[in-house]
Amino acid sequence: MTTDAISRAGSLLSGKPLRVLAALILIINGLFPALWILLTSFKTEAELTLKPITWLPRTPTLQNYVQAFSDQPLLTFLFNSFMVALLSTALTLLVSVLAAYALARLNLRFRGLIMSLIIAVSTFPLVTLLVPLFETMRALDLLNTWTALIMPYAVLSLPVCILVLTSFFESIPRDLENAAMIDGCTRIGALFRVVVPLSAPGIFTAGILAFVNAWDEFLLALSFNSNPALRTLPVGIQLYQGEFAFPWPVISAALVVGIVPIAVLIVIFQGRVVSGLTAGGVKG
Amino acid sequence: MTTSFPLARATGRAKPRRARWSRLLDPGEATLGALLLAPAAILLAVVIGYPVCKLIYTSFLDLSLTSGVPARFAGLANFQQMIEDPVFWQAAWNTILIALITVPGALIVGLALALLANLPFQMRWPARLSLLVPWALPLSFAGLIFAWFFHSEYGVVNDVLQRFGLSGIIWFNSSRLAFAAICLTIIWKTSSFMALIILAGLQTIPRSLYEAADVDGAGLVRKFLLITLPLLKPTIVVALIFRTITALQTFDIPYMMTGGGPGTSTVTLAMYIHQNTVSFLDLGYGSALAVVMFILSMAVTALYLRMIRGSEAVE
């Protein structure tokens, strides 16, 4: 009787209705918050205070988006976030390509130790550096500049990128480099002319992880940049709330504007992101 | 050894200069390695190495930018102040409690999500996307969105409760409920990362094991307990430890949802460091707090490295 019940449960699990239910649970769990914000962004302020609350906007309006861009310099926040994320990604990629090549190809004496160190750095709490980095940036007169964020963000992603790229470089046959070197390439030349182009997928993966890390960071951006013209999106978005007022539809519109770029990136590169997470899976 | 002595001396004298030049043009393995690793080392030294030294030094100073008094050595005064500071203990306890609640919470939810996502769907991308979007959503956005979800009058959580005939809850007036709302949000946000990692682990388990178990007549529960869980263990351990370390750094979500309130009931260590440093500009005390957090993190990391090494030894 019990085996019968279990096998029935088993066939139920492979059945189509259950798969549909599973897909629904996954999608509602993962996408409902973003969907709810999207719906809210089309509602009027008056509609939000209706009880019971309405789920779909009754008189959809784009006014919140107009206000999101006019109440605060949302375009500037977007631009700052984009540039800081892009530049720190470029820096971390350049540095980690070199380091990963050394770790993948050279006979280094302390390879194991260096790898352990990289893993240890990947768990490093950047929060604890708030004080000394704040002081250092103040002394260097870098507070309220992109540089104050680009350098720590590059370090934030350095371990993941090195781990992802090392495993990628190891998968590329050495013969290809050797052939290039026989044809007169130097070792560094072979790295940039042969290994890097062949590793484009791995470099993309590492780059997306670095970009998402930088795009999401909040604490350092909040602490180091108080100049409104240099705020990144996560910091800028809290400025919409007044001392007493909380204009939710406008905030929702601003959030949608902030979510769309990262969502587009994820949709395009979903396979790469997953493989990157598992190759260097280090960020919660 | 077999070469005659004078010859060895002669070449020995001539060699260094030539070797130095050729090393520059075509460096040996060790030199090349050092050159390639140098940029990473410099970046790490500037952003982590030097600041960590400075952090430890500052934690022994009486250094407050608002007091106008120049920095002076204060011994263990900052740590003494910490021991007597009830807000520190509150923040430390909150941080540990968040880790104790949300790490297992995210594991359970993440495991469930991963098992669902691993069903044989015809299209893979909707399931994948529903795990990737929460992962990529900035923590600060998640905090704002869920503050709105848990709004006592217009929040969708209370709306759903009321539709089921329950009464709405004023989440952010009570310290316990505010804490619960924060933990639920963190679990939602971080379970997707857990699920992605576990899903990848699930896909490496050979199907033949399940087929053999089918032949032996094993049910779903037994297959899960005897095949899935043991084979997932290394993956789960790695995910758990990384999640624990990030849980100790919790800042964005409580900052956005409650700002630490009501009172100081939802302040975390990271929030308290930020408050002392950026708001009060008390760098000495802020550093001492950071040192404690640093030690806490390093202890977890040491545990992590030991476990990684342990699992490598097994392989």
- Mean pLDDT, chain B, whole residue set: 84
Please give, rounded to a whole number of angstroms, the shortest distance from the CA of B40 to a CA of chain A: 6
Cβ neighbors of B164 (< 8 A, separation 6 or more) are none
Q: Is the pLDDT of residue B65 over 50?
A: yes
Question: Do the Cβ atoms of A19 and B119 come within 8 Å?
Answer: yes
Q: Residue A284's closest chain B neighbor by CA?
A: B243
d(CA B172, CA B158): 13
Distance of CA A91 to the CA centre of its chain: 15
Question: Distance of CA B81 to CAs B77, B89, B260, Å?
Answer: 6, 11, 21
Q: Are B242 and B307 in contact (CB under 8 A)?
A: no
Q: Residue range B264-286: average pLDDT? A: 91
d(CA A138, CA B139): 27
pLDDT at B2: 41
pLDDT at B300: 83
Q: Is the pLDDT of residue B1 over 50?
A: no
Q: Are B240 and B248 in contact (CB under 8 A)?
A: no
3-state percent helix, strand, coil for chain A, nearest multiple of 5: 75, 0, 25
Burial call B211-222: b when 16+ CB within 10 Å, e when fewer: eebeeeebbeee
Question: Do the Cβ atoms of B193 and A277 come within 8 Å?
Answer: yes
Q: Are A74 and A258 in contact (CB under 8 A)?
A: no
Question: Do the Cβ atoms of B145 and A129 come within 8 Å?
Answer: no
Q: Residue range B174-179: average pLDDT? A: 91
Q: Lowest-pLDDT range, A1-5, A88-92, B3-7, B245-249?
A: B3-7
Q: Is the pLDDT of residue B180 over 70?
A: yes
Residue listed under structure tokens 């350095």: A158
Instruction: Please state the three-class secondary structure of B163-178 as a single string.
Output: HCCCCCCCCCCCHHHH
Please give, rounded to a whole number of angstroms, the shortest distance from the CA of A27 to a CA of chain B: 5
- Per-window interface: B 71-110 vs A, CB < 8 A: none
Q: Is the pLDDT of residue B8 over 50?
A: no
Which chain A residues contact residue B164 at CB under 8 A?
Answer: none
d(CA B239, CA B127): 20
Which residue ranges in chain A fall short of pLDDT 70?
1-14, 243-244, 279-284
pLDDT at A202: 87
Element at B61 (helix H, strand E): strand B61-62
Q: Are A41 and A51 in contact (CB under 8 A)?
A: no
Which chain A residues contact residue B186 at CB under 8 A?
Answer: none
Q: Residue range B107-120: average pLDDT? A: 92
Closest CA to B131 of A186, A258, A212, A28: A28
Please give, rounded to a whole number of angstroms, the shortest distance from the CA of A9 to a CA of chain B: 8
pLDDT at B14: 45
Q: Is the pLDDT of residue B6 over 50?
A: no
Q: Is the pLDDT of residue B115 over 70?
A: yes
- Per-window interface: A 10-49 vs B, CB < 8 A: 10, 13-14, 18-19, 22-23, 25-27, 29-31, 33-34, 36-37, 40, 48-49
Which chain A residues contact residue B228 at CB under 8 A?
Answer: none
Q: Lowest-pLDDT range, A198-202, A227-231, B116-120, B306-310?
A: B306-310
